Structure 1
Amino acid sequence: MSNSQTEWWAPVEGNGQSADLFGGDPTSAQPPRRSRSGGRQREARQRKQRRNRSIVIVIVALLLVVGAGYVVVSLLGGMFDGDGTNKTATTKDFPGPGFGEATVTINAGDTGADMGAALADAGVVASAQAFSAAFAANSGAASIQPGTYSLLQEMKASDAVDALLNPASKSSFRVTIPEGLTKDQIVARINEKTLIPTKELNAALKDSKAIGLPSQADGNAEGWLFPATYDVQPDASAADVLKMMTAKTVEVLKDKKVAKDDWETVLNKASLVEREGKLDEDRPKMARVIENRLDQGWMLGIDAAVAYGAGISGTELTTKELQDKSNPYNTRALPGLPPTPIASPGEASIEAVLKPADGTWMYWCTVNPETGETVFSHTQAEQDAAQAELNAWITANGK
């Protein structure tokens, strides 16, 4: 479509005059003469229109550039002082080396960001972000161990990472002992977290006086090393660490008002419940089954005890192992409780033994090892049905 004007006209029949398309005097609608001056005027108008459009485009582009610049300056302006120095660079990190003292605890599972937040809160680093960046830049940072550290205030972030990697900075080691571990497993855990030699720990276990082992334990610390989280000082000896654990067990027994003469028996029963039970809600029922069987002179038949005495993990036992009367912990072949606890019970299992559920159950069977679902039965027939359910689960899951 052209920008030039198009003029419509048509001859009127009979008189040779033209008729205006929109009406009017036909004498005034003569076809215009096309002249060179008219063409030049149209070209001038077109050039002017093109110039105007170009000017508008330039103005719009300039406005967009200015607007974008304003946004950038607004976003970055807060990062700079009046003299043009970068405020972020001067406030996110301290120059170091630091002063005074600050104590910070690093927990198991803490990320670099978690550590940075704790250090920033304690005034050790200027910001969690600065520490996170230094943590990411240090290839050894992932080996920082849980524990309590003695650091300086206002340290450079990279220096703080180095300090956490330096064992000399530790004011304590954090050791967590889960429920249900044997004393040998606990020794291995202590050695892993504190680097106290296993040989020293095993030697300390034999020194009842040094570790505060009550006489009721008859020299065997099994079941007496309470599962909890402990802060161990860097200069602590093997005996110091184990003494904390036996002292915690005594504290729990006293808090629950257990008579001293019953301490070992309670821990023994609780250790069986701890090793057999997966759900806390089942522990009081298991404790009741143990009492019912002991009252009626039945064998306890607890495979966890048999496995402990056989020195194997798990409860997948052979017929020979189940019938082995030379194993003093074979509760399938020998009456009564095993000679000692078989693991360190937690508070829930101790509480279950002290307050067993009411019931006449004589059996239990964990029918789903993954979820811990357990069926409690009164008769052998009910127990056989539960065992069949377990066997079906094993077949279905290829266990």
Structure 2
Amino acid sequence: MTDLFGDEPQSSRARRSSARLRQAKRRAQRRRNFISFVVMLVALALLVGGGWVLVRPLLDGNEQVSEEPTDYPGPGTGEVQVVIEEGASGGEMASVLLEADVVASRTAFINAFNANPDAAGIQPGTHVLAQQMRAEDAVAVMADGSTLSDTRITIPEQWRATQIYDRVAQRLDVDVSEVEEAADAVAADYLPDVAGGEMEGWLAASTYNVHPDDTATDVLEGMVDRTIELLDSMDVPAADRQDVLIKASIVEAEVIRDDERARVALVIENRLDNCSGDGRLGMDSTVAYGLGITLGEALTQERLREDTPYNTRLNPGLPPGPISSPSQGSIEAVLAPAAGDLCYFVSDLETGESLFAATLEEHNENRETINNRNSNDEG
């Protein structure tokens, strides 16, 4: 009996021990797999959360914000002025309006901004709005322009300083003498030294938003700033800026068709290099400016012989200053004139075409061609 049922055989005990060992290993492996899975989930959550923190500022103002917006019921009370800067995004506008308590949250304004197809037309400047408005209403009234309290002043290319002063006085509802006094102060204290204290040519042709509390001095300084910004963007050296504006103002006055600017700029350079033999520009636009008349007025022989500093038919070289506010296109033409030996041009006022020539003989033939063409048209 002892031999049959006593101690368990060695092989049976070994098998059970091996089975328990395998089970223990499987349990340990499952624990390791579970821990690895939890670590992976945590890492993924951290990655997604960190990515959202980085991406969300880039989307601000251009996406539908997901959280529940806080909004005022409207219609709003009182009145407040807010200033929207040039190029402001929807998110930036939202911050300005939230600070002024026009809207209850940035979220509400951004969602309303994105939902209104006219919102992109909101103009920079000073807007007068009620406080505690519904965001949708704030976007709508800003987009239709009814809240904009700024005065808009548009200065066309080729306008002279005297014309600009008249326009500023009209828009600010002040006497022109007040604008002229402001111009004297700006010329003395604000203009770059290279301008020689003369405002002509430094009042950039553009459209300006004038805030309700702006003075004539503020407006004129803004025009000078815009000219400087334009010249800075074109990398024009400070010492060359007056000459560039003089040449560009002549191009502006003489050109009828935009595609001829670079060739007129070339003629100016070649005339200054003495291609005509006398170093004179011979530009009627400068003569007219020196006489205080428009280029459209008749330049009689008597007027052409009148010796002013701007009479480039009599005096070699550039005139002492610009003759108007040039456009960006004319400045670009001066900085990159056409290539060649062109020395003369004559314009057909009927067609707007200019005929260019390298020699005086060719120039006279061009003048005859235009005269005959116009005579035949009249006949």
Normalized against structure 1, the TM-score is what?
Answer: 0.58
Q: Distance in 2 between matches of 1:170 and 1:196?
A: 21
Q: Specify the alignment match of 2:306 in structure 1.
A: 324
Alpha-carbon contact 1:178-1:227 (below 8 Å) kept: yes
Partner of 2:151, secondary structure, is strand
Pairing partner for 1:379 from 359, 364, 373: 359
Shift of 1:392: 3.3
1:204 aligns with 2:182: yes
Which residue matches 2:207?
A: 229
Counterpart CA distance in 2 for 1:322 and 1:300 is 13
Which residues of structure 1 form unaligned runs of 5+?
A: 1-94, 106-120, 128-145
SS at match of 1:269: helix
From 275, 281, 285, give the equivalent of 1:304.
Answer: 285
Q: Distance in 2 between matches of 1:307 and 1:210?
A: 26
1:209/1:189 Cα in 2 relative to 1: closer, same or farther (>3 Å)?
Answer: closer
Which of the pair has the greater relative contact order for Cα pairs under 8 Å at 6+ separation?
2
Could you tell me whether the CA contact under 8 Å between 1:290 and 1:300 is conserved in 2? yes
Alignment of 1:175-324 (within 5 A): 175-208=153-186, 212-296=190-274, 297-315=278-296, 316-324=298-306
8 Å CA contact 1:170, 1:234 repeated in 2: no
The normalised TM-score by structure 2 is 0.61
RMSD of aligned alpha carbons: 3.6
Q: Is the 8 A contact 2:81 2:126 kept in 1?
A: no
Deviation at 1:192, TM superposition (A): 2.5
Give the length in aligned residue pairs: 266
Q: Does the alignment pair 1:359 with 2:329? A: no
User: Residue 338 of structure 1: which of 316, 319, 324 is its match?
Assistant: 319
CA contact (8 A) 1:227 1:345 kept: yes
**2:186–2:217 CA contact under 8 A, matched in 1:** no
Counterpart of 1:391 in structure 2 is 371
Go from structure 1 to structure 2 and tell me whether the alpha carbon gap of 1:194 and 1:208 turns closer, same or farther (over 3 Å shift). Answer: closer
Superposed, 1:33-72 pairs within 5 Å as none
Higher mean C-alpha deviation, range 292-301 or range 175-184? 292-301
Q: Distance in 2 between matches of 1:196 and 1:211?
A: 22
Determine the C-alpha separation between the residues in 2 that align with 1:252 and 1:289.
Answer: 24
Distance 1:385 1:259, change over 3 A: same
Partners of 2:212 and 2:350 in 1: CA distance: 39
Q: Deviations over 1:147-185 (max 9, x none)?
A: 86524468x9xxx9xxx99xxx75311111111110001
Alignment partner of 1:172 is 2:150: yes
Tell me, what secondary structure is at the counterpart of 2:313?
A: coil
For 1:329 and 1:176, how far apart are their aligned partners in 2?
27
Change (3 A) 1:209 1:263: same
Classify 1:209/1:104 alpha carbon distance in 2 versus 1 (closer, same or farther; 3 Å): closer
| Letter of the 1:234 counterpart | P
Q: 1:100 to 1:148 in 2, by over 3 A?
A: closer
1:62-101 correspondence runs (5 A)? none
